[in-house]
Chains A and B, each alone.
Chain A
Amino acid sequence: GAGVSQSPSNKVTEKGKDVELRCDPISGHTALYWYRQSLGQGLEFLIYFQGNSAPDKSGLPSDRFSAERTGGSVSTLTIQRTQQEDSAVYLCASSLGPTETQYFGPGTRLLVL
Chain B
Amino acid sequence: GESVGLHLPTLSVQEGDNSIINCAYSNSASDYFIWYKQESGKGPQFIIDIRSNMDKRQGQRVTVLLNKTVKHLSLQIAATQPGDSAVYFCAENPHNAGNMLTFGGGTRLMVKP
Contact = CB atoms under 8 A, between A and B. Distances in A.
Contact of A43 (B49, B89, B99): B89
B17 to A, nearest CB: 26
B5 A98 contact: no
Interface of B: 3, 5-8, 32, 34, 36, 41-46, 49, 89, 91, 93, 95, 98-106
A99 B93 contact: yes
Given A91-B43, A102-B46, 17 more contacts: A33-B100, A35-B103, A40-B6, A41-B105, A42-B89, A42-B106, A44-B103, A48-B98, A50-B99, A91-B44, A101-B34, A101-B46, A101-B49, A102-B34, A102-B101, A104-B36, A106-B41
Interface of A: 4, 31, 33, 35, 39-45, 48, 50, 56, 58-59, 91, 98-99, 101-107
Nearest to A105: B43
Contact of B101 (A45, A58, A106, A107): A45
A48 to B, nearest CB: 5
Contacts of B41: 106
A59 B6 CA distance: 22
Given A42-B3, A42-B89, A99-B93, A104 B99 contact: no
B80 to A, nearest CB: 22
A48 B100 contact: yes
Given A48-B98, A48-B99, A50-B99, A106 B3 contact: no
Contacts of B42: 106-107
A43 to B, nearest CB: 4
